[in-house]
């Protein structure tokens, strides 16, 4: 097999594994890798085989590009689902990513739960709120059955604006934290 045939075979496999990407992005990556292979093979003492071996299998290289693109797109998004998907992809790569993913799950769960309970409070006012248990315990949310008699709900209808505000701010902070973390991971990746 000639050198050009080896290059084209590798690029065809790369193109195939980049298939989920938009055609313009896919072709740009294939052109970039093709140029890199040809330029690297012209260096003294280099061969097509050694260049392709350094790049690794086309499937793994394509996966790296797909992951990088997903993380980059997620870092520009405001959608919690897209952000969590990017964080999950990052979690598959590093401990930092695992931390980002679980912080995101916790933040979205807490913020979403507070907002949800604010909407439930007018429907189930006796079961929804913030309870204080005589100095030992504070609980919040929708409770069935009601807390034991010494416990009492301390916010009343003020629970609604407070839960909406704290929940919304938690959701916004979580979005911002995940986006910042994804951008940071991109910067660290380009430095390596």
How do the pLDDT tens digits run along the chain, 192 residues long? Answer: 687 888 888 888 888 888 877 888 888 888 888 888 888 888 887 788 888 888 888 888 888 888 778 788 888 888 999 899 889 888 888 898 899 999 999 999 999 999 999 999 999 888 888 878 776 667 777 776 665 566 778 888 999 999 999 999 999 999 999 999 988 887 776 654
End-to-end Cα, the chain, rounded Å: 34
Q: Is the dihedral of CA 76, 80, 84, 87 positive or negative?
A: positive
Rounded Cα gap, residues 177 and 152, in angstroms: 35
**Quick one: pLDDT at residue 35?**
87
**Quick one: pLDDT at residue 108?**
97
**CA 127 → CA 115, 117, 147, 166, distances in Å?**
15, 10, 9, 20
- DSSP for residue 148: P
Residue 163, CA atoms < 13 Å, CB-side half-sphere: 24
C-alpha torsion 77→82→86→87, nearest 10:
100
The dihedrals phi and psi of 34, each to the nearest 5 degrees, come to -60, -45
147-161 CB burial, b ≥16 within 10 A, e <16: beeebebebeeebbe
**CA 136 → CA 141, 151, 170, 177, 191, distances in Å?**
17, 10, 26, 33, 50
**Quick one: pLDDT at residue 140?**
76
């Amino acid at each position: 097999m000639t050198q050009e045939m080896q290059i084209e075979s590798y690029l065809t496999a790369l193109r195939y594994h980049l298939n989920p990407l938009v055609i313009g992005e896919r072709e740009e990556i294939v052109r970039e890798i093709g140029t890199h292979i040809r330029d690297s093979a012209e260096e003294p003492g280099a061969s097509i085989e050694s260049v392709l071996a350094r790049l690794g299998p086309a499937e793994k290289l394509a996966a790296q590009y797909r992951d990088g693109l997903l993380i980059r797109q997620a870092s520009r998004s405001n959608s919690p689902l897209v952000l969590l998907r990017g964080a999950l992809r990052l979690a598959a790569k590093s401990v930092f990513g695992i931390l980002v993913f679980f912080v995101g799950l916790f933040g979205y769960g807490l913020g979403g739960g507070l907002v949800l309970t604010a909407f439930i409070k007018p429907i189930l006012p006796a079961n929804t709120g913030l309870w204080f248990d005589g100095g030992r315990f504070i609980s919040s949310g929708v409770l069935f059955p009601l807390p034991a008699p010494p416990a009492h709900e301390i916010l009343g209808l003020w629970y609604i604006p407070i839960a909406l505000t704290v929940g919304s701010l938690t959701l916004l902070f979580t979005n911002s934290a995940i986006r910042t973390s994804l951008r940071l991971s991109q910067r660290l990746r380009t430095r390596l």
